[in-house]
Copies of this chain bind each other. A is one copy, B any other.
Amino acid sequence: MAEPAYQRLDVDERRAQLLELGARLFTEHAYDELSMAQIAREAGISKALLYHYFPSKQAFFVATLERGATELVALTEPAADLPPAQALDQTLDGFLAWIEDHRETYLKVMRSSTGHAEVRELVEGVRAETAARLLDGLTGGEPPPPALRAAVRGWLWFMDGACQDWLEQEDLGRDEVRGLLLGTLAGAITASGHAELLAKLAE
């Protein structure tokens, strides 16, 4: 006989398994389409165990995204003290590369039919951090003028819009997208009335 009724796993192993499964399921189905019971069944465990590892469905969902988010933030974090132009280059390269490697995840997050505040805050958080970095590089730490701030924030939205088009239509090269993004940033800064700052991005 023997045949244990269930397989006992190490905490970290189990956690990792659940996160991986969750990441897969949540890119295949919308948040509301998945119940915790389904997820547990899929993982071959009981619902209670799933709740033993994650305090709520939301928390579980966010946790499945967090690895990607921290990875993305790390990838777009430029080496310290680089001049603004190179820092921007690095950030953009990191961003586009990550997106190309995680097409489905990126699109899913952008469209997330799951929507709860947490995801929005995650996305907005990344945008806010990137904007702060960019503005810092442009103004040298001074608080930015309103129009410039709006231009940069808008540009970060532009980035997501253009990237979605890129991934969905598949008729543009990464370099073209890069050029479009950089050129539009220059255009937005100019339109905000601070063309003099462009010199910093051309260094």
Q: Which residue of B lies closest to A151 (CB)?
A: B180
Given contacts A114-B120, A146-B172, A147-B180, contact A165 B191 (CB under 8 A): no
Q: Which residue of B lies closest to A176 (CB)?
A: B147
Main secondary structure of the interface of A (DSSP, over half): helix
The total of chain A residues at the interface (CB under 8 A) is: 49
Q: How far is the CA of A114 from the CA of B123 in the complex (A)?
A: 10
A154 and B149 within 8 A (CB):
no
* Chain B residues, CB < 8 A from A149: 165, 169
Contact with B along A54-71 (1 / 0, CB 8 A): 000000000000000000
A184 and B188 within 8 A (CB):
yes
B190 and A165 within 8 A (CB):
no
B157 and A161 within 8 A (CB):
yes
* Chain B residues, CB < 8 A from A158: 154-155, 157-158, 161, 184, 188
Tell me which residues from 154 to 193 in chain A have a Cβ below 8 Å from any Cβ of chain B. 154-162, 164-166, 169, 171-172, 176-177, 179-184, 186-188, 190-193
User: Which among A116, A158, A159, A169 has the highest number of chain B CB atoms within 10 Å?
Assistant: A158
Q: Which of B117, B146, B187 contacts A171 (CB 8 A)?
A: B146
Q: Is residue A111 within 8 Å, beta carbon to beta carbon, of the partner chain?
A: yes
A173 to chain B, nearest CB (A): 10
Q: Is residue A125 within 8 Å, beta carbon to beta carbon, of the partner chain?
A: no
Given contacts A157-B158, A180-B188, A186-B191, 8 further A-B contacts (CB under 8 A): A111-B117, A112-B115, A114-B120, A115-B120, A147-B172, A150-B169, A154-B165, A156-B161
